[in-house]
Amino acid sequence: MTETEPEPPESEPAPVDLIVCATCRHGGSDDADATRPGARLYDALAGRDLPPGVRLKSAQCLSNCSRGCSIALRGAGRWTYVYGDIDAARDLDAIVDGVDRYRRSADGIVPWRERPEHFRKHCIARIPPLEPSHG
């Protein structure tokens, strides 16, 4: 009887960025002293256990003010997605689930039926990956 070689461990997917628009205030107060809903969303996500390889970042503006709070998902060689209408109190589980599915996909495209419902209904943009430079 011959020994079989163990299968190599499944490699971890490449890191991805979860970017939160920290300046979003859609549905929030115009009070200059109030914490903006986008900043609250960032803080709430910072307090969550995110999947391995997910880098949480903030942006000063995703220019999606009418559909804020907004996030973007991006990664090397992947499509970038922008999602809006996010509520920190309601949508954290959907964001964590969605970013994990995105991270595990080869190209950033998660089949529509496998996306969290919020991601299916509130996608603002889908941007193709950058082409590698030649030269």
Q: Among residues 8, 18, 94, 1, which one has the least CA distance to residue 53?
A: 18
- Per-residue pLDDT tens over the stretch 19-75: 999 988 765 555 565 688 899 999 999 999 999 999 999 999 999 888 889 999 999
- Per-residue pLDDT tens over the stretch 96-113: 999 999 999 999 999 999
Q: Which fold has domain 16-127?
A: Glutaredoxin (3.40.30)
Where do the structural domains in the chain lie, given as residue ranges?
Answer: 16-127
Alpha-carbon span 135 to 128, nearest angstrom = 21
- The pTM assigned to this predicted structure is 0.84
Question: Cβ distance 72 to 52 under 8 Å?
Answer: no
